[in-house]
Amino acid sequence: MGLGGKEETEYTFQLPEREKQIALEELREDDNIRQQSLDQMREWIAKHPHIKKCRTDAPFLLRFLRTKKFSVPLSCEMLERYLSIRRLYPQWFQRLDCEDPHLQEIIDAGYLVPLLERDNGRMVLFSCAANFDPHKFTSAHMIRVHSLVTESLMDDEMNQINGYTYINDEAGFTMAHISMWGLRDLRNIVRCIQNTTPMRHKGNHFLNMNSSAAKLFEYSSPLLNEKLRNRLHVYKNIDEVYEHIDKKILPKEYGGEVPLKDMLDRFKRMLKEKRESILALDEMSIEIDERNCPLVSEMNEELGSGIDGSFKRLAVD
């Protein structure tokens, strides 16, 4: 994907009627508003004193406009934050290469995979804690896998309009998973998720929560805003999940119809197809003056309050 250019005028919108109606009712989107908003964002990017390079094609800008329900000022603010966190945290958000041996191994293990079928139109991301080795990989590896997966999905208009459902099997979560995290990193990544990532998070479902997973959940959930906290759901067993998620869309290992391996194989093919466009995101550039950047101040505010360290001490309190 290029960073601006003739693709701005060549993109054709071909939304299904259902998504057109959802976009109108939930996002206030119609043909006129969409085009006016895209034009305004492009003008804002062109005049921004610190943005040196940025994609301006419709699928990219609509990530932000649809997340912010076509408020151009809020969309521009989120885009600025998105570019800034990529610059501030390259270890999390840059060089997202599906051929990177570490990322490849984590994906092959089945830690995180998009399901084949949607949940009432929403893309479903399924994660399994037991398939992430905390003795071999770090929290940065975990974030990078999530970043790679979501970047591969965010240009899809169906995902932009309908949003995302998350299903998390925590059965294999251990104290070693907790020990990977520093408190400041956890706070910062939660802020990145809810303030800078252009995704509509519609439901977050957790099953098989053990005591270790509960500790991290109890610390991290208050960091979310009220809207996202209200979309967290914890279940005692898989049968309770079936009451909220159509059983047939889950991996066969969880009562569905398609084995997890088959879902992974399809997803890995998609990642290869999108590899170059995802790597090209690193070409985007924004200059950051740390003295005057609100995002830097927000991310570093806990330094002055002594919030740092890891969960190792919390785990034995």
Claim to verify: residue 148 and residue 213 sit in the same structural domain: yes
Cα angle 106, 176, 183; round to 5? 95
3-state secondary structure of 26: helix
pLDDT tens for 207-253 read 999 888 888 888 888 888 898 999 999 998 889 999 999 999 999 99
Q: Tell me, what's the pLDDT at 306?
A: 43
CATH number, domain of 294, equals 1.10.8
Tracing tokens 């990177």 back to the chain, one arrives at 100
Give yes or no for residue 299 having a pLDDT over 60: no
Claim to verify: residue 60 and residue 173 sit in the same structural domain: no
Q: What is the four-CA torsion angle of 242, 245, 249, 254, rounded to 10 degrees? A: -40
Claim to verify: residue 47 and residue 86 sit in the same structural domain: yes
Claim to verify: residue 135 and residue 269 sit in the same structural domain: yes
| CA distance linking residue 73 with residue 57, whole number of Å | 18
Q: Tell me, what's the pLDDT at 9?
A: 53
On whether residue 46 sits in a domain, the answer given is yes
Claim to verify: residue 140 and residue 246 sit in the same structural domain: yes
pLDDT band for position 301 (50/70/90)?
low
Q: Tell me, what's the pLDDT at 279?
A: 98
Q: Tell me, what's the pLDDT at 98?
A: 97
Q: Tell me, what's the pLDDT at 204?
A: 95
> What is the rounded average pLDDT for all residues in the chain?
89
Q: Tell me, what's the pLDDT at 3?
A: 58
Domain that holds residue 28: 7-92+280-303
Give yes or no for residue 25 having a pLDDT over 70: yes
Q: Which residues pair with 206 in a beta bridge?
A: 168, 234
DSSP string, 109-156: TTSEEE-SS-BTTBEEEEEEGGGS-TTT--HHHHHHHHHHHHHTTTT-
Q: Which residues pair with 168 in a beta bridge?
A: 127, 206
CB-side neighbour CA atoms (13 Å) of 155: 15
pLDDT band for position 191 (50/70/90)?
confident
CATH number, domain of 106, equals 3.40.525.10
Claim to verify: residue 201 and residue 258 sit in the same structural domain: yes
Mean pLDDT confidence for 49-57: 96
Give yes or no for residue 294 having a pLDDT over 80: no
DSSP string, 64-119: HHHHTTT-HHHHHHHHHHHHHHHHH-HHHHS---TTSHHHHHHHHTTSEEE-SS-B
Q: What is the pTM of this model?
A: 0.90
Claim to verify: residue 108 and residue 220 sit in the same structural domain: yes
Rg of the chain, C-alpha, whole Å: 20
Claim to verify: residue 48 and residue 195 sit in the same structural domain: no
Q: Tell me, what's the pLDDT at 210?
A: 87
Claim to verify: residue 122 and residue 270 sit in the same structural domain: yes
Give yes or no for residue 46 having a pLDDT over 70: yes
pLDDT tens for 104-141 read 999 999 999 999 999 999 999 999 999 999 999 999 99
Claim to verify: residue 72 and residue 121 sit in the same structural domain: no
Q: Are 12 and 26 in contact (CB under 8 A)?
A: no
Claim to verify: residue 59 and residue 102 sit in the same structural domain: no
Q: Tell me, what's the pLDDT at 237?
A: 85
On whether residue 311 sits in a domain, the answer given is no
On whether residue 313 sits in a domain, the answer given is no
Q: Could you give the C-alpha distances from 178 to 111, 113, 132, 182, in angstroms and in order? A: 16, 22, 12, 9
Number of domains in the chain: 2
Q: Tell me, what's the pLDDT at 211?
A: 84
Q: Tell me, what's the pLDDT at 293?
A: 62
Give yes or no for residue 305 having a pLDDT over 80: no
On whether residue 287 sits in a domain, the answer given is yes
On whether residue 309 sits in a domain, the answer given is no
Claim to verify: residue 79 and residue 103 sit in the same structural domain: no
Question: Which percentage of the chain shows pLDDT scores above 90?
Answer: 73
On whether residue 186 sits in a domain, the answer given is yes
3-state secondary structure of 243: coil
| Cβ burial 53-90 (10 Å sphere, 16+ → b, else e) | ebbbbbebbbbbbbbbebebeebbbbbbbbbbbbbbbe
On whether residue 315 sits in a domain, the answer given is no
